[in-house]
Chains A and B, each alone.
Chain A
Amino acid sequence: MATASKALAPSDRAVRVIGGEISEKALTRYLHGLPRVDAVGAAARAGHFQTRSIKTESKKFGLDLAISMVDLTTLEGADTPGKVRSLVSHAIHTDPLDRTAPTVAAICVYGDMVPHAIEALGESHVSKRPDGIAVAAVATAFPSGRASVRVKLQDTQDAVAAGADEIDMVIDRGAFLSGRIGEVFDQIVRFKEACRRSDGSYAHLKVILETGELRTLDNVREASNLAILAGADFIKTSTGKVQPAATLPVSVVMLEAVRDWYLATGETVGYKPAGGIRAAKDALRYLVAVAEITGEKWLTPDLFRFGASSLLNDLVMQRQKMASGHYSGPDYVSVD
């Protein structure tokens, strides 16, 4: 674990952007040099997306796209293999009334459930077909992140060894809020390394900022940039266990970070809002925000995911309404 004055484990991106030795001081100066966010202005920008009216063809397209971007999630202490099997079935057969409806992007479970998820997916797993469903595991002492780095690394390695395609890690918010930026950075770099498989490939790393605990949009901007510099493949808002979870103003700031990284380097980083997105209407607003801030290039499960559970059924019900012309109900979608 790095202390304030020591050099940090270098990540390619950080070296490119900051140059020289990556120290906590240099990182801190870089982050503090980013433009501040005016929260009232950011909320107003978010408000624009809420007044977009997505209808008819755009709506149909958006609903199918949104379904294909869902990370269908169960993260409960009471999760069992049976529960995971049921979730996987729902992930594959999203619409009981239409077998041709899109499947979701991924299943998101605790690390010890990964084997059950892979088994249940069978031929639908992304290892068997490119348009298949991935398995994402939360790790690093999700959701609090309050454990030793050794334990968090082990947690990550176990999930990767079990076959997880993606790892959703949490940053150390205590370290961030007390200014120990170097520790936050270091941990991300090391957890990214722990995603390395024996064949040299990497599980995708999503870095959860837990924006509900960061509280200010300035912190969200800094944490987003920090995560990207440290090697994140995706930046993610929340664990879903803390309120508020994903909000549009937070998403504006995080999407701006993703956009700015692309403008500066040509590299794409993904974005995942998680928690609190229950209605199809809200999901469509997120698609608008992504398209208008980062660009349509991001409208793909490779670069955008919804971390959600009940959202899927609302998307499906809206889809059913567009097909049938009448409102649907909870009995026409399946429970997990």
Chain B
Amino acid sequence: MAFLDYSPAPESTSILSIKDRYGLFIDGKFQSSRGKTFATISPSTEKTITKVTEATAADVDKAVKAARVAYDKVWSRMPGAERAKYLFRIARIIQERSRELAVAETLDNGKPIKETRDVDIPLVAAWFFYYAGWADKLEYATGGATPTPHGVVGQVIPWNFPLMMLAWKIAPALAAGNTVVLKPAETTPLTALLFAEICQEAGLPNGVVNIITGAGAIGKALVEHRGIDKVAFTGSTGVGRQIARALAGRSTALTLELGGKGANIVFDDAAMDEAIEGIISGIFFNQGHVCCAGSRLLVQESVHDELVSRLTRRIETLRLGDPLDKNTDIGAINSKAQLNTITELANSGDAEGASRWSANCELPSKGFWFPPTVFTGVSASHRIAQEEIFGPVLSVLTFRTPDEAVEKANNTPYGLSAGVWTEKASRMLAIVDKLQAGVVWANTFNKFDPTSPFGGYQESGYGREGGVPGLLAYLKSTSPVQGVAK
């Protein structure tokens, strides 16, 4: 046998106990609604996992009211040290149920179990641990201003890192003393609902966290609700624009985490093998469904051919397939809709004159799949160099000098992330200085930590998540305040 044809090593789903259907989690309990139910499926098999409820406008109202009562009567009166202990409990329970959560996330999202187990879920726990410790120390973060929460926060999150995005939103919000209404993405509600159960296990007071499931319309109803003091949104730049427009003229605090077209810059003196790992992580980790993906490779022209040859060689060892198999590196595309978007943009690459190379992997017959793909001969004006593909497609461009690398990297309305690969430290530090990106990875890529702020410049959004800035966004005293002008 060929050793590289590893025998199946599936992670069992027997650890899960998923209900047939879920209501909306409002005021500490799962409640029924007039809304219809819709199925959430596994994108690798297209099988239904469970049915969830489509919230109505009345449900949004109910959830916001529950959050308001919880804020007024319980959460805002609770000492920070007590809030901290609730968050520590949640963090611990997440750790205890981590395998179960990883399996659920892989099933619902389509990403490999290796990623949910080793990256997503540990970060979820870490995020809660980190912000738990801030709940009773807020005055140290505000530098003097009396820490005051906003009140009720409305949060809408995307499907690419479902539970992790939930943690990024809920942990700092609660630590700062706010209560929350959160809507998970319609294709990935499962782990948010399991999180609701965890809130119950932790004894979190009713109404402090509310989870309502539904699609875009409900997200809109939530963020525009007059009972919300602050909105936090992660998703596409297109929707981010709509939200910013809708909230214009109002005093609602707003932070946005939107798209990106990150540049991964490789110099001729880079640690070449490690740069290749970074490039691969940058665009194929999570199937490229990452706002901060290194979707543009800017390689110094003198090493272009060698780099591309090593890169494609290495990509051929990536394993695409059943996300629940522990040896899978690349999982399923999250939905048919996303697969269509990726396919359309990749075709534009062919049409506009770039050269396509795809890994020679077998795609399963059921489910949504796209092979790792590299386009060379890409120019800055090509659609695949400008538009966010949000899939496993890398566009390769070249540069000659450090200045040119910076110029090309910055030549985008986005500004979320960038990677730089060089062994010369002085050049590295000068380049990171000049990059218009909120997160710069030097000789590495896709590193996340609850202490490390994350967010974008320009059309990648505004506000930061993680670290001290991530906390301050949830305090009125350190956000733009209402009623400035008379």
> CA of A56 to CA of B7 in the docked complex: distance in angstroms?
7
Query: Which one, B6, B270, B317, B423, contacts A54 given CB within 8 A?
Result: B6
Determine whether B444 belongs to the interface, using a CB cutoff of 8 Å to chain A: yes
Query: Which one, A37, A58, A252, A296, contacts B6 given CB within 8 A?
Result: A58
Determine whether B273 belongs to the interface, using a CB cutoff of 8 Å to chain A: yes
The answer to whether B114 touches A51 (Cβ under 8 A) is yes
The answer to whether A57 touches B7 (Cβ under 8 A) is yes
The answer to whether B326 touches A41 (Cβ under 8 A) is no
Determine whether A89 belongs to the interface, using a CB cutoff of 8 Å to chain B: no
Name the interface residues of A1-56: CB closer than 8 Å to any CB of B: 35-38, 40-42, 44-45, 51-56
The answer to whether A55 touches B273 (Cβ under 8 A) is no
Contact flags (1/0) for A98-139 with B, using CB distance below 8 Å? 000000000000000000000000000000000000000000
The answer to whether B271 touches A35 (Cβ under 8 A) is yes
Nearest-neighbour CB distance to chain B for A289, whole angstroms, equals 11
Query: Which one, B3, B277, B443, contacts A58 given CB within 8 A?
Result: B3
Query: Which one, A37, A292, A296, contacts B271 given CB within 8 A?
Result: A37
The answer to whether A42 touches B9 (Cβ under 8 A) is no
Instruction: Given A53-B326, A53-B327, A292-B317, verify A41-B271 contact (CB < 8 Å).
Output: yes
Residues in chain A near residue B317, CB distance under 8 A: 292
Interface size of B by CB at 8 A reads 26
> CA of A299 to CA of B7 in the docked complex: distance in angstroms?
17
Of A59-67, A141-149, A312-320, the segment with at least 4 beta carbons within 8 Å of chain B is A59-67
Determine whether B278 belongs to the interface, using a CB cutoff of 8 Å to chain A: yes
> CA of A173 to CA of B359 in the docked complex: distance in angstroms?
42
Nearest-neighbour CB distance to chain A for B9, whole angstroms, equals 4
The answer to whether A55 touches B274 (Cβ under 8 A) is no
Name the interface residues of A239-269: CB closer than 8 Å to any CB of B: 252, 256
The answer to whether A55 touches B7 (Cβ under 8 A) is yes
Query: Which one, A45, A54, A61, A291, contacts B9 given CB within 8 A?
Result: A54
Residues in chain B near residue A72, CB distance under 8 A: none
Name the interface residues of A309-335: CB closer than 8 Å to any CB of B: none
Determine whether A159 belongs to the interface, using a CB cutoff of 8 Å to chain B: no
Total A-B pairs, Cβ < 8 A: 76
Nearest-neighbour CB distance to chain B for A288, whole angstroms, equals 8
> CA of A141 to CA of B4 in the docked complex: distance in angstroms?
39
Contact flags (1/0) for B261-274 with A, using CB distance below 8 Å? 00000000111111
The answer to whether A57 touches B271 (Cβ under 8 A) is no
> CA of A59 to CA of B327 in the docked complex: distance in angstroms?
13
- A43 closest partner in B (C-beta): B274
Instruction: Given A53-B9, A54-B9, verify A41-B3 contact (CB < 8 Å).
Output: no
The answer to whether B272 touches A35 (Cβ under 8 A) is yes
Residues in chain B near residue A42, CB distance under 8 A: 273-274
> CA of A107 to CA of B278 in the docked complex: distance in angstroms?
41
The answer to whether B277 touches A45 (Cβ under 8 A) is yes
The answer to whether A35 touches B273 (Cβ under 8 A) is yes
> CA of A56 to CA of B118 in the docked complex: distance in angstroms?
23
> CA of A52 to CA of B329 in the docked complex: distance in angstroms?
10
Name the interface residues of A140-195: CB closer than 8 Å to any CB of B: none
Q: Which of A38, A65, A292 has the most CB of B within 10 A?
A: A38
Query: Which one, B3, B275, B443, contacts A61 given CB within 8 A?
Result: B3
Nearest-neighbour CB distance to chain B for A297, whole angstroms, equals 11
The answer to whether B271 touches A36 (Cβ under 8 A) is yes
The answer to whether B7 touches A44 (Cβ under 8 A) is no
Determine whether B484 belongs to the interface, using a CB cutoff of 8 Å to chain A: no
- A54 closest partner in B (C-beta): B6
- A62 closest partner in B (C-beta): B3
The answer to whether B2 touches A45 (Cβ under 8 A) is no
> CA of A58 to CA of B9 in the docked complex: distance in angstroms?
10
The answer to whether A40 touches B3 (Cβ under 8 A) is no
The answer to whether A37 touches B273 (Cβ under 8 A) is yes
Determine whether B353 belongs to the interface, using a CB cutoff of 8 Å to chain A: no
Determine whether A287 belongs to the interface, using a CB cutoff of 8 Å to chain B: yes
Residues in chain B near residue A256, CB distance under 8 A: 273
Determine whether B8 belongs to the interface, using a CB cutoff of 8 Å to chain A: yes
Determine whether B1 belongs to the interface, using a CB cutoff of 8 Å to chain A: yes
The answer to whether A291 touches B3 (Cβ under 8 A) is yes
Band of interface residues on A: 20 to 34
Binding site secondary structure of chain A: helix
Instruction: Given A53-B327, A55-B8, A59-B7, verify A41-B277 contact (CB < 8 Å).
Output: yes
Nearest-neighbour CB distance to chain A for B306, whole angstroms, equals 10
> CA of A62 to CA of B1 in the docked complex: distance in angstroms?
10
Residues in chain A near residue B444, CB distance under 8 A: 38, 40-41
Nearest-neighbour CB distance to chain B for A155, whole angstroms, equals 36
Nearest-neighbour CB distance to chain A for B304, whole angstroms, equals 15
Nearest-neighbour CB distance to chain B for A242, whole angstroms, equals 26
Name the interface residues of B181-195: CB closer than 8 Å to any CB of A: none
Residues in chain B near residue A291, CB distance under 8 A: 3-4
Q: Which of B3, B9, B278, B317 has the most CB of A within 10 A?
A: B3
- B424 closest partner in A (C-beta): A36
The answer to whether A55 touches B9 (Cβ under 8 A) is yes
Residues in chain A near residue B274, CB distance under 8 A: 37-38, 40-42, 44-45
Residues in chain B near residue A40, CB distance under 8 A: 274, 443-444
Residues in chain A near residue B423, CB distance under 8 A: 36, 38
- B278 closest partner in A (C-beta): A41
- B118 closest partner in A (C-beta): A51
Residues in chain B near residue A299, CB distance under 8 A: 3
Contact flags (1/0) for B244-288 with A, using CB distance below 8 Å? 000000000000000000000000011111110110000000000
- B274 closest partner in A (C-beta): A41
The answer to whether B4 touches A292 (Cβ under 8 A) is yes
Nearest-neighbour CB distance to chain B for A37, whole angstroms, equals 6
> CA of A3 to CA of B1 in the docked complex: distance in angstroms?
51
Nearest-neighbour CB distance to chain B for A244, whole angstroms, equals 20
Name the interface residues of B2-33: CB closer than 8 Å to any CB of A: 2-9
Q: Which of A41, A45, A296 has the most CB of B within 10 A?
A: A41
> CA of A55 to CA of B5 in the docked complex: distance in angstroms?
11
Residues in chain A near residue B269, CB distance under 8 A: 35-36
Contact flags (1/0) for A276-306 with B, using CB distance below 8 Å? 0000000000010001100010010000000
Residues in chain B near residue A296, CB distance under 8 A: 2-4
> CA of A292 to CA of B277 in the docked complex: distance in angstroms?
13
Q: Which of A53, A55, A61, A62 has the most CB of B within 10 A?
A: A53
The answer to whether A61 touches B272 (Cβ under 8 A) is no
The answer to whether A57 touches B3 (Cβ under 8 A) is no
Q: Which of B1, B5, B274, B278 has the most CB of A within 10 A?
A: B274
Residues in chain A near residue B3, CB distance under 8 A: 58, 61-62, 65, 287, 291, 296, 299
Residues in chain B near residue A62, CB distance under 8 A: 3
Query: Which one, A38, A54, A65, contacts B443 given CB within 8 A?
Result: A38
> CA of A61 to CA of B3 in the docked complex: distance in angstroms?
7
The answer to whether B7 touches A58 (Cβ under 8 A) is yes
Cβ-closest 9 pairs across A and B:
A41-B274, A53-B9, A53-B326, A38-B271, A38-B274, A58-B7, A35-B272, A56-B7, A36-B423
- Spell out B's residues near A (CB within 8 Å): 1-9, 114, 118, 269-275, 277-278, 317, 326-327, 423, 443-444
A sample of 14 cross-chain residue pairs with beta-carbon separation below 8 angstroms, ordered by A number, consists of: A35-B272, A36-B423, A41-B271, A42-B273, A45-B273, A51-B114, A53-B327, A55-B6, A56-B8, A57-B7, A252-B273, A256-B273, A296-B4, A299-B3
Known: A52-B6, A287-B3. 8 other contacts (CB 8 A): A37-B271, A38-B271, A41-B271, A42-B273, A44-B277, A51-B326, A291-B4, A296-B4
